[in-house]
A and B are shown apart, each in its own frame.
Chain A
């Protein structure tokens, strides 16, 4: 592999950063984008805020109920609700809202099974019970100052342990926290809907007679770069870039005819190149980029 080709491989790898492949039970691979640490932290802050607000609001309500003459009952109900919300807020929403709590929904992230299968209630239970040591224990320690009245050494040990847990998402490539490891889950960005028109379907290569020689210079990478350019929103930057690309392509393939419209030329070339590359692919010749020299996979040797 020459230096140019290596550059392309690296570009592809960078583009795939933060992207993981789920293999669905049907055996198809789907690429998902991992939620960033920032996304997840934002969702967590929102959820914890909601929990606090819910508990506080209900506490105020129960204080009012208590003032009507049933203080004990009010306190008991509040304690039970406190427990229920604290332990089952995440579990409830991740089951009922299919992998998203209110905070996750607002931020736009979602819990999925790491293996691509259905998210189960067991997985949701596991990943959320681990929050005890990841979230609620540190919070309790922070709020109560020194901890549970333990000696300095034990407090230090607990502190180190908590720090170890908190850095787990930073040191594994899937950004899993301890709960995700035990639950077998990933947190991904909720995909935003897209629909784009097919560039090639709407245009023809009429008036342009590109030959095989004209089309042999580029591979799939260049084709898709050209596609991205043609899809850019109109504006002076796009026009300048298109003019530059037109000039480079014309020079490279030896297209000497002067073109009145840069865009028409590029669209026609895109279409012709795609048709050429797709046809070549049918014969097993996949040219990945301009430095690639595809070999027929079944070609007999010698």
Chain B
């Protein structure tokens, strides 16, 4: 008699598939995907698609609400396994540095240039103003950043701040680590600020550039330009580039929010946000390298030529890696 009930027949024909998928999903939920055998791993997406097809049919022919709820529940639970992050954490890290990161940076060249320009503009403006009048220095550099390196200090004191030294080796290591933690935090902050239409990101870049420009002007005006260049370049080339990358990432998000083009604004932000996050994440190891260079390199190496060579060399390697790694083979 129950032959007449179309949905019951439908269910009888397919129930075995559903039960098989159910047992696989339950196993994966309890013990993790790794507990599944190779055959089970191959079967999982097939069973998932068959169940999904059953769901579509059931929605059409069946008025059994609990059956539809069951199929929907099972499909969703399977979906969370079939369409989860597909890599292990190790593979994700590998793919990230091998392909994802350099490709994302290459695709974001325009934003990198824009972020760099904001920084350079800040530096130029502050440089010109401070060269014109020392008073401007105090406008750009807050007291705790200056640390005694002000226009009031005499040249010998300024020269001494450019030298290395300072503490035993232990002191340097702690210094380097805390620099890294601090700078990486600022960089990711610059990225996150992109969410606010990019204005705070540009302001942060401009302001960082201004502090830099003010310092350069101070030292150049005291005839310490060359030493300053060495002192700054050994870590600054890497660190500023990392700041610029983070800023560029923030600008990408802002750009997508302001000019979504023919995509929905939310879609545009999500799509661009993925690429931008990759660029910002790539800056983290750069900050780490810069922290080491600043904490150790700059303190232990005092020769300006060597400082310049190391700073520019590592910067060059970074650029080469970003420019060449992970290109599609032709």
Q: Shortest beta-carbon distance, B45 to chain A, in Å?
A: 10
* Residues from 56 to 77 in B contacting A, C-beta threshold 8 Å: 56, 60-67, 69-70, 72-73, 75-77
Number of interface residues of B (CB under 8 A): 82
Question: Binary interface profile of A, 52-74, with partner B (CB < 8 Å = 1, else 0)?
Answer: 00000000000000000001110
Please tell me if A83 contacts chain B, counting CB pairs below 8 Å: yes
Q: Which residues of A contact B324 (CB under 8 A)?
A: none
The answer to whether A184 and B96 have CB atoms under 8 Å apart is no
* Residues from 33 to 49 in B contacting A, C-beta threshold 8 Å: 49
The answer to whether B269 and A25 have CB atoms under 8 Å apart is no
Question: Binary interface profile of B, 1-41, with partner A (CB < 8 Å = 1, else 0)?
Answer: 11011111001100000000010011001000000000000
The answer to whether B66 and A119 have CB atoms under 8 Å apart is no
* Residues from 79 to 102 in A contacting B, C-beta threshold 8 Å: 79-80, 82-83, 87, 92, 94-96, 98-99
Taking CB as reference atom, which chain B residue is nearest A164?
B196
Q: Which residues of B contact A125 (CB under 8 A)?
A: 274, 277-278, 280-281
Q: Shortest beta-carbon distance, B318 to chain A, in Å?
A: 20
* Residues from 187 to 235 in B contacting A, C-beta threshold 8 Å: 188-189, 191-193, 195-196
Q: Shortest beta-carbon distance, A120 to chain B, in Å?
A: 7
Q: Shortest beta-carbon distance, A116 to chain B, in Å?
A: 7
Please tell me if A132 contacts chain B, counting CB pairs below 8 Å: yes
Report B's interface with A, CB cutoff 8 A: 1-2, 4-8, 11-12, 22, 25-26, 29, 49, 52-53, 55-56, 60-67, 69-70, 72-73, 75-77, 79-81, 83-89, 92, 95-96, 100, 142, 144, 169-171, 173-174, 177-178, 180-181, 184-185, 188-189, 191-193, 195-196, 253, 266-267, 269-271, 273-278, 280-281, 284
11 A-B pairs besides A193-B29, A275-B4 with CB distance below 8 A are: A30-B79, A73-B173, A75-B174, A94-B85, A120-B85, A123-B277, A124-B85, A126-B274, A129-B280, A183-B273, A200-B8
The answer to whether B72 and A31 have CB atoms under 8 Å apart is yes
Which residue of the partner chain, among B7, B69, B89, contacts A92 with CB atoms under 8 Å? B89
Segment touching B, from A240-248, A252-260, A277-285, A293-301: A277-285
Please tell me if A9 contacts chain B, counting CB pairs below 8 Å: no
Q: Shortest beta-carbon distance, A148 to chain B, in Å?
A: 10
Segment touching B, from A37-45, A106-114, A209-217: A106-114
The answer to whether A220 and B66 have CB atoms under 8 Å apart is no
**Residues of A contacting B: mostly:** helix
* Residues from 178 to 223 in A contacting B, C-beta threshold 8 Å: 178, 181-185, 190-196, 198-201, 204-206, 220, 223
Report A's interface with B, CB cutoff 8 A: 22, 24-26, 28, 30-32, 71-73, 75-76, 79-80, 82-83, 87, 92, 94-96, 98-99, 110, 112-114, 116-126, 129-134, 137, 149, 161, 165, 178, 181-185, 190-196, 198-201, 204-206, 220, 223-224, 227-228, 231, 271, 274-275, 277-279, 281-282
Q: Which residues of A contact B65 (CB under 8 A)?
A: 224, 227-228
The answer to whether A181 and B280 have CB atoms under 8 Å apart is no
The answer to whether A191 and B73 have CB atoms under 8 Å apart is yes
With contact pairs A26-B52, A191-B73 given, residues A129 and B281 touching in the complex (Cβ less than 8 Å) = yes
The answer to whether A278 and B5 have CB atoms under 8 Å apart is yes
Q: Which residues of A contact B196 (CB under 8 A)?
A: 161
Question: How far is A224 from B64 in the complex, measured between Cα atoms in Å?
Answer: 7
Taking CB as reference atom, which chain B residue is nearest A231?
B66
The answer to whether B11 and A274 have CB atoms under 8 Å apart is no
The answer to whether A98 and B1 have CB atoms under 8 Å apart is no
Q: Which residues of A contact B193 (CB under 8 A)?
A: 133
Question: How far is A200 from B8 in the complex, measured between Cα atoms in Å?
Answer: 7
Taking CB as reference atom, which chain B residue is nearest A25?
B83
Q: Which residues of B contact A149 (CB under 8 A)?
A: 142, 144
Taking CB as reference atom, which chain A residue is nearest B186?
A132
Question: How far is A274 from B11 in the complex, measured between Cα atoms in Å?
Answer: 14
Question: How far is A279 from B178 in the complex, measured between Cα atoms in Å?
Answer: 73
Please give me the 5 A-B residue pairs with the lowest Cβ-Cβ distance, nearest first: A184-B270, A182-B273, A72-B170, A126-B277, A98-B84
Q: Pull 15 A–B residue pairs with CB atoms less than 8 Å apart, ordered by A.
A: A32-B76, A75-B177, A79-B177, A82-B181, A83-B181, A95-B92, A126-B274, A129-B280, A182-B273, A183-B274, A191-B73, A191-B77, A193-B73, A194-B69, A194-B73
Q: Which residues of A contact B277 (CB under 8 A)?
A: 122-123, 125-126, 129, 182-183
Q: Shortest beta-carbon distance, B24 to chain A, in Å?
A: 12
Q: Which residues of B contact A181 (CB under 8 A)?
A: 195, 266, 269-270, 273
Which residue of the partner chain, among A95, A133, A277, contacts B195 with CB atoms under 8 Å? A133
The answer to whether B273 and A278 have CB atoms under 8 Å apart is no
Question: How far is A123 from B142 in the complex, measured between Cα atoms in Å?
Answer: 37
Which residue of the partner chain, among B5, B63, B269, contacts A224 with CB atoms under 8 Å? B63
Q: Which residues of B contact A126 (CB under 8 A)?
A: 270, 273-274, 276-277
The answer to whether A30 and B76 have CB atoms under 8 Å apart is yes
With contact pairs A119-B84, A181-B266 given, residues A196 and B70 touching in the complex (Cβ less than 8 Å) = yes
Q: Which residues of A contact B55 (CB under 8 A)?
A: 28
With contact pairs A181-B269, A274-B64 given, residues A205 and B1 touching in the complex (Cβ less than 8 Å) = yes
Q: Which residues of B contact A161 (CB under 8 A)?
A: 196
